[in-house]
Structure 1
Amino acid sequence: MLVKYKLLFILLFGFGILYSQEIENDPDYIKTVILKPNTVNYYAPIMKLGQLFTFSFDDLNADERDYYYKIEHCDIDWNPSNLMESEFLNGYAEERIRDYENSFNTLQYYTHYSVTFPNDDTQIKISGNYLISLLNEDEEVVLTRRFVIYKPEVTVAVAISKSRDLKYYDTKQAVEFTINHSNFTINNANDEIFPVILQNNNWQTAISGLKPQFYRGTQLLYKYNKETSFWAGNEFLYFDSKSIRNPTLNIGRVELGRELYHSYLYTNNERIDQPYTLFEDVNGNFIVRILNNDNSSTDADYSWVHFSLESLEKLGKKEIYVSGNFNNWQLNESNKLTYNLDTKLYETKILLKQGFYNYQYVTKTVDGKISNKDIDGSFYQTENDYTVIVYYKKFGSRYTEVIGVGYGNSTKLIN
């Protein structure tokens, strides 16, 4: 049953499901959720208006269930905006996902689902923050993901520097940026412009609430340092499971279990007291890939990937997690490490599809504070991606637009 008429039902009968609430943890049977533009080597769900992007996932139930997507327009704080569906898109906000295919020749059976936007049923027509929700056949929300649509009205120049605070000179990176609006009228930048800074496209550490410090013609200058500083962290760790039967990059051994393969990574040592070492990564992202086959969407298998960490740090009541974009940076029981008294290591295992993965070890306090430096330290030399998203809400407007996006990388420090 299609759900495109459910909104009318809610209006008539006065009740319904609150789809706008973000789901913090994905269900165990949904894996490898990807939301990204159809551009090679680009992983962040930040797209120009009209640009093609794809939402895909695997269902390990492998029974060809009916799934639907629902798209909602949000304000800058990711709450639902007051717009009618017809104001932010052409077509339908909800529709069934019709493109699906079962896995082929894999030990782990799954059904791979995929939908590309814009499509014949749904075309987004204004910029802003959006939530895409996955609904099951009972119209229950299975998972949600954020994405940003922008219309390039302004340009954003981004520069990265070391912290000016001597206490953090070797451990933090600061973001400076300039908004050029020569072809776009801004009447009151203090009340209309709201920039947000992301490090490696991770919303958990986003910085917002910044006002322009200087004005130069049609330029807004944000020369903050302390207020726009991020812990630089360390380079992401990585492994490559494209050959599921044999050890490859950073995989010590592979064993065939009762049902699936088990990939045991080499034990990681804490790096907080070690010298910084440069090696290439993809800043927390992952790429599904396999050897000798072109269709990794349905031919890639799943294996249990075993992580182990040797750490002597006194963490108190802090918990340790394996973190990365492979599960949307979520910290939950599925990627939490526990201490093994026999091996004297922190350990966990995660079911992952074949591919190249970046990951890091982060800690979380009892009050939810997350740190990427307790285990692996923080070094100003670390290569990080930074994104500045420019939100604009004109006085009297009913919604917040995104009028520009700028990018910077810490390989080019300005000091």
Structure 2
Amino acid sequence: MRRWVVFLLYGLSLTASVAQTTDTIIDPKIATVLLYPQVGSTVAGGSPAQALNIPLVKLDDQAQSPLQLEFDDLTANYRSFRSKIVHCNAGWVRSVLNDIEYTYEYNDVPITDYQVSIGTKIPYYHYKYMVPRLKLPGNYVLVVYNERNRNEILFTRRFRVYANLVSVEAAIRFSTDVSRQFNDQQVDLAIGYRAYQSQVTSPQDDFKVVIRQNYRDDRTVTDLHPTNVRSFDQVLEYRAIDLRNTFPGGNEYRFFDTRTVLSRGNYVERVDRKAEKTTAYVQTDRPRSGIAYTQFDDFNGLYVIDHRETGDGATGADYIETVFTLLVDELPNVDVYANGAFNFWALNSRNRLTYDPSIGGYQGRIWLKQGVYNYNYSVTGLAPPLTRSGIRLDGNETLIEGDFSQTENVYEVFVYNRLPAARADQLIGYYTINFGQRK
């Protein structure tokens, strides 16, 4: 009995120390944190394209498509890590549920699967961990911490488990605001709850709907209310006349390829190979906001780790000092960033660029593992901050990249509900739609 009390207190102490529920790397020696479901067949060592699967899995498919966590420890020394799963409500605030209410196993698991990098100039340990099955659909945060000090959290990573208990339909079109029809995209949707009606007491109030663009939690619309309740059909329609369901179209993401450093990959100007490190210079960029939209394929901001020579990106890919250069006149009182999923879309010192008058533009260096990366440029410090249809955009990407309503973007719809007398939100509906997808 005493042992179980100690275990319970141990878990509560860790949960209490989780200060945030965002995608965040706290330890600077942790890099390339990937979390994705294993979908379909894989080749030996895993398929690089698997990482393009976002951290979301259907409740009934967890056994067939489990979530796989991968990350690197750049200390190049073995460290003992443990993981814990925290349940959150629709707004990513920790719920009051106890571990036993949403987990099948003890919620504090060691991460024991690791490999050492092979033939890389920057040595590292590569860790893998399979996320255990969960009982409830909803929002979760995977917390990884130092086994020797449970208060030393290394990183946190969001993921979702969903159940399709309601039906969702969505359509994307150019904005109905005449002034923004060439720049914005509008999401109209409908939710059918006929199969779920026994759990619904007030249809217009019971559902929380979230729309997300390009898998980015910094590009979401929340607090949506139905504009029409068709009680006989058990259908809720969301066609907001205040344009809250409108997103800036953005632009196709820029990309570069560093899967090999023996030659220049796509959009890499040159590669400097030295004994202690390799430096890759991404093709010099310029603003695109003042030029016509150009169509090309991208990963919608995501990236893939791979190593062309060995085919093993997990342990064969090296860390490259990647140099970004943006030629633009100096912007007073403004910070410029090279932004992408590789930094969880965060704007911080890691991806900030500095103005260099000798080149007439901004430049920055970021250590990135070999692969194919999507990115764009974002700025902060503009007054007033850019807002659009209820979205407060922490970084202004319009200034450098432009907004075009023709841009290919993927949208997701999440539907949450809290059952009568329940203590937490559940994710009961999920739908994805790709606007402008190339055939």
Question: TM-score, normalising length from structure 2?
Answer: 0.87
- Map of 1:10-29 to 2, 5 A cutoff? 17-19=16-18, 21-22=20-21, 24-29=24-29
Match of 2:356 among 331, 340, 354: 340
Deviation, structure 1 residue 8: 2.5
Deviation, structure 1 residue 48: 0.8
Partners of 1:347 and 1:361 in 2: CA distance: 11
Identify the residue that residue 370 of structure 1 maps to in structure 2: 395
Query: Does 2:287 align with 1:233?
Result: no
Partners of 2:331 and 2:182 in 1: CA distance: 22
Amino acid corresponding to residue 320 of structure 2 in structure 1: S
Partners of 1:117 and 1:16 in 2: CA distance: 17
- Map of 1:38-53 to 2, 5 A cutoff? 38-39=38-39, 42-49=52-59, 50=62, 51-53=65-67
2:104 counterpart SS class: strand
Partners of 2:9 and 2:160 in 1: CA distance: 29
Q: Deviations over 1:86-111 (max 9, x none)?
A: 00111122111011111111111000
Identify the residue that residue 320 of structure 2 maps to in structure 1: 303
Identify the residue that residue 394 of structure 1 maps to in structure 2: 419
Name stretches of at least 5 consecutive residues in structure 2 with no aligned partner.
Answer: 40-48, 386-392
Query: Does 2:151 align with 1:126?
Result: no
1:131–1:262 Cα change, 3 Å? same
Structure that is richer in helix per residue = 2
Amino acid corresponding to residue 403 of structure 1 in structure 2: I
Query: Does 2:155 align with 1:143?
Result: yes
Amino acid corresponding to residue 366 of structure 2 in structure 1: I
CA contact (8 A) 1:181 1:219 kept: yes
Amino acid corresponding to residue 286 of structure 1 in structure 2: Y
CA contact (8 A) 2:328 2:360 kept: no
- Map of 1:314-333 to 2, 5 A cutoff? 315-333=331-349
Partners of 1:274 and 1:116 in 2: CA distance: 45
Match of 2:80 among 66, 79, 91: 66
Deviation, structure 1 residue 6: 5.8
CA contact (8 A) 1:244 1:303 kept: no
CA contact (8 A) 2:256 2:266 kept: yes
Amino acid corresponding to residue 317 of structure 1 in structure 2: N
Amino acid corresponding to residue 37 of structure 2 in structure 1: P
1:371 counterpart SS class: coil
1:141 counterpart SS class: strand
Query: Does 2:89 align with 1:75?
Result: yes
Name stretches of at least 5 consecutive residues in structure 1 with no aligned partner.
Answer: none
Partners of 1:155 and 1:112 in 2: CA distance: 40
CA contact (8 A) 1:245 1:261 kept: no
CA contact (8 A) 1:37 1:52 kept: yes
**Which shifted more, 88-97 or 16-25?**
16-25
1:280 counterpart SS class: coil
Identify the residue that residue 104 of structure 1 maps to in structure 2: 118
Deviation, structure 1 residue 246: 1.7
Q: How many pairs align?
A: 405
Partners of 1:244 and 1:142 in 2: CA distance: 30
1:184 counterpart SS class: helix
Deviation, structure 1 residue 20: 5.0
Query: Does 2:415 align with 1:382?
Result: no
Identify the residue that residue 184 of structure 1 maps to in structure 2: 196
Amino acid corresponding to residue 128 of structure 1 in structure 2: G
1:156 counterpart SS class: strand
Query: Does 2:412 align with 1:411?
Result: no
Match of 1:157 among 169, 189, 200: 169
Amino acid corresponding to residue 415 of structure 2 in structure 1: V
Deviation, structure 1 residue 187: 2.5
1:193–1:263 Cα change, 3 Å? same
CA RMSD of aligned residues (A): 2.2
Partners of 2:170 and 2:274 in 1: CA distance: 49
Identify the residue that residue 30 of structure 1 maps to in structure 2: 30
1:54–1:10 Cα change, 3 Å? closer
Amino acid corresponding to residue 138 of structure 2 in structure 1: G
Identify the residue that residue 215 of structure 2 maps to in structure 1: 201
Deviation, structure 1 residue 318: 2.4
Q: Deviations over 1:37-62 (max 9, x none)?
A: 11256432121112411111000111
CA contact (8 A) 1:33 1:327 kept: no
Partners of 1:15 and 1:289 in 2: CA distance: 34
1:90 counterpart SS class: coil
Partners of 2:144 and 2:415 in 1: CA distance: 27
Amino acid corresponding to residue 56 of structure 1 in structure 2: E
1:298 counterpart SS class: helix
Partners of 1:101 and 1:165 in 2: CA distance: 54
Deviation, structure 1 residue 394: 2.4
Deviation, structure 1 residue 5: 7.2
Identify the residue that residue 44 of structure 2 maps to in structure 1: none
CA contact (8 A) 1:69 1:95 kept: yes
